[in-house]
Amino acid sequence: MSLTRSWMIAEIPGPTRANVITKPEIVAALIRRHKRPLLVVGSKITTDIGGESMADYVIRLAKAANIPVLASLPALKVFREKGFEPAAAMPLADIGARLVDPSWQGVDGKGPHDLVLILGFRYYEQWLLLSGVKHFSDTMLVSLDYRYQPHANWSFLNISLEEWKKNLKAIIEKFGG
């Protein structure tokens, strides 16, 4: 049994919890192993991570690893201000509905995504999104936020912003970015 705990300790996830990402190489290997990864990004992408916003890291990762980005509507505005156009944008509720819909052909119409990397949502929003997708689809879920998300298949522990920054940089570097 895992000794990991949710960041919001009143939230009780159940008996199956996320594996802990102990090193960034795990995330890079998961991305390489899956054929159709997707980055799902929420409104908190303006979070400052040591002089850069989370959006800057997401853009670099998306370009380096060639992963399409599905943005929530507030995130779309931030991306466009930075000159980056996500593959798609939609409200959070629609993101959750699409990710569990077996007939959804992904943001590019070429088939369902088999790996979803998620970050930039408020903790409780991501908790609910991950819970729904975990229970109603077979999609592999990876939380790239710095707070432990037990409903993902893989998640960082509750780590500092500095440690999170190092991990995100290392993941991007694994793809030459």
pLDDT in tens, the chain (177 residues): 344 655 556 566 666 788 999 999 999 999 999 999 999 999 999 888 888 899 999 999 999 999 999 999 999 999 999 999 999 999 999 999 999 999 999 999 999 999 999 999 999 999 999 999 998 999 999 999 999 999 999 999 999 999 999 999 999 999 987
pLDDT at site 2: 44
Question: Does residue 87 lie within any of the structural domains?
Answer: yes
What's the distance, CA 66 to chain centroid? 15
Cβ within 8 Å of residue 57, ≥6 positions away: 49, 165, 168, 169, 172
Question: Does residue 11 lie within any of the structural domains?
Answer: no
Question: Does residue 4 lie within any of the structural domains?
Answer: no
Split into its structural domains, the chain has a count of 1
pLDDT at site 17: 82
Residue type, 51: G
Q: Which of 50, 34, 9 is nearest to 158 (CA)?
A: 9
Range of the domain at 73: 19-173
pLDDT at site 9: 61
Question: Does residue 123 lie within any of the structural domains?
Answer: yes
CATH number at 106 reads 3.40.50.1220
pLDDT at site 1: 36
CB 70 within 8 Å of CB 38:
yes
